């Protein structure tokens, strides 16, 4: 049989094919989604424990089974110290032991102790599961606390257009207060100089050529570029006027006077 909808089971659990509304959990875990320790007896007391910055004590004795789930604020770990430890030795540890799951996955079988007192333990995650299987003379007492992680120093490379800047950054886990980050901002601006227009002025000069006995034919010099044209007024060709001077004695003198249409003197030739 299989379920149409699979539940989001925690700690390695999976949807129970015989009851699709809950998860099937590994040993020591319970709840609908395997999110809590399995309840076995009221003699066990509180089963869900929260690790703080101060040591707390967990103790159990006598016949019975108890499952304790210790949780620390993520991503911190849990430090466990043993004060008392009394179990009847069996080989292997099968009915009378203390099992501690403090690895990456608390759903898998952990380390079982039934002879010697365990040494100091540090969990690999924020969870630790403790399974107690005791006889009449069995007992244990542990102290546990939240183990804050030391700051991890890393180096971040920031690339700019011309160089690289190494900024030391402190990434802190736990409750340690990290320093205020220092920010560097690199801004690149590009500007284009405006183009200054250049004005060119070219003047074309029109000249007029006058030949005796002909009309005036103006000719224009080709301008280099677009420009204004200045035209000089054309000159008119005036026929010479001859005036007779009365004779005085033997001497005769011829005078040629040239005037324009307005009567102004242009040339005088004696």
Count of beta carbons in the 10 Å neighbourhood of residue 88: 15
What are the pLDDT digits (tens) for 135-155?
A: 999 999 999 999 986 555 554
In the chain, which stretches have pLDDT less than 50? Answer: 155, 158-196, 198-221, 223-230, 232, 235-238, 241-243, 245
What are the pLDDT digits (tens) for 78-91?
A: 999 999 999 988 88
Q: Per CATH, is 39-173 categorized as 2.60.120.290?
A: yes
Q: How far from 108 is each of 24, 61, 83, 97, 155, CA to CA, in Å? A: 14, 25, 26, 16, 37
Q: What is the pLDDT of residue 270?
A: 58
Q: What is the pLDDT of residue 132?
A: 97
Question: What is the pTM (predicted TM-score) of this model?
Answer: 0.55
Name the DSSP class of 232: P
Q: Given CA atoms 36, 37, 41, 46 in this order, what sign does their dihedral have?
A: negative
Spatial separation of the C-alpha atoms in residues 33 and 20, rounded to whole Å:
11
Q: What is the pLDDT of residue 48?
A: 96
For tokens 């991890």, what's the residue? 152
């Amino acid at each position: 049989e299989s379920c149409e909808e699979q539940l989001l089971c925690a700690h390695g659990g999976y949807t129970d094919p015989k009851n699709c509304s809950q998860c099937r959990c590994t040993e020591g875990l319970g709840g609908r989604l395997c999110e809590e320790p399995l309840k076995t007896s009221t003699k066990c007391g509180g089963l869900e424990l929260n690790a703080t910055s101060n040591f707390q004590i967990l103790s159990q004795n006598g016949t019975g089974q108890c499952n304790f789930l210790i949780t620390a604020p993520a991503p911190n770990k849990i430090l466990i110290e043993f004060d008392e430890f009394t179990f009847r030795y069996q080989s292997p540890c099968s009915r009378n032991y203390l099992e501690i799951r403090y690895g990456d996955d608390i759903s898998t079988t952990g380390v079982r102790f039934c002879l010697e007192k365990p040494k100091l333990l540090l969990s690999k995650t924020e969870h630790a599961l403790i399974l107690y299987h005791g006889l009449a003379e069995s007992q244990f007492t542990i102290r546990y606390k939240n183990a804050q992680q030391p700051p991890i120093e890393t180096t971040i490379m920031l690339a700019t257009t011309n160089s690289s800047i190494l900024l030391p950054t402190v990434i802190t886990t736990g409750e340690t207060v990290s320093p205020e980050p220092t920010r560097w901002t690199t801004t690149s601006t590009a500007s284009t100089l405006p183009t200054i227009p250049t004005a060119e002025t070219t003047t074309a000069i029109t000249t007029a050529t006058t030949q005796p006995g002909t009309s005036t034919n103006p000719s224009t010099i080709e301008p280099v570029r677009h420009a204004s044209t200045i035209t000089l007024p054309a000159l008119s060709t005036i026929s010479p006027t001859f005036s007779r001077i009365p004779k005085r004695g033997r001497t005769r003198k011829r005078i040629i006077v040239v005037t324009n249409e307005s009567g102004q003197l242009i040339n005088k030739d004696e």
